[in-house]
Amino acid sequence: ATHSHLPPDQHHYLLVGVIFISMKSFFCMPLVVLLASLRGGSAFMTPTKRFTSVGAKKSTRLHSLPSLIVFDLDNTLWTPELYQLRKVARSNRYPIANEDVKLFPAAKQIIQQIKNEREGRFANTKFAVASRTQSVDWAHNLLEQFELKELFDHVEIFSGDKKRHFSHLKSASGIDYEE
């Protein structure tokens, strides 16, 4: 989705695969993030237009942040997907951050913004990981190598159905899906 009501020279969009809990159901939804090319902008601002019924007045508002934002790992925060590291597996070693696995540049920006504003804008927002992988130990190790472990309030990394990840997150966080 794009926000065509903003002039193209005033924004730069990036589609980041982010999973979050909302609308009383499990679903994976891309979060369109507006990077800081807008004055005072933020990667978490998603402007939308709202129209009132009287005279079709228009106003711009910002979505409030959900109570829980859940990130996937493979091809969302980093690349490549861990199953693709056959050479690393054959050499019987763990992947090395920034060598075998790299964070996406936009993911770095978003993570830095979260870290910088954890006590402000994100004070009422929790962050979690929900990742389906056979390489559970590798994923945990990479979170430590990238110094991301402390960023996440909840971490669910295991193979299987993603619905189980969200069920565990709901139980562990105490946050309902609609929040």
Provide the pLDDT for residue 68.
92
| 65 — pLDDT class (breaks 50, 70, 90) | confident
Residue predicted with more confidence, 58 or 166: 166
Winning range, highest mean pLDDT, from 8-12, 25-29, 130-134: 130-134
pLDDT at 64 over 80: no
Question: Do 95 and 142 form a contact (C-beta atoms < 8 A)?
Answer: yes
Residue predicted with more confidence, 53 or 121: 121
Calculate what percentage of the chain has a pLDDT beyond 70. 65
This prediction has a pTM of 0.68
pLDDT at 36 over 60: no
90 class by beta-carbon count within 10 Å (0-12 exposed, 13-18 middle, 19+ buried): exposed
- Residue-wise pLDDT for 100-155, tens only, equals 999 999 999 999 999 999 999 999 999 999 999 999 999 999 999 999 999 999 99
Least confident window among 33-37, 70-74, 141-145: 33-37
Provide the pLDDT for residue 105.
93
Provide the pLDDT for residue 178.
84
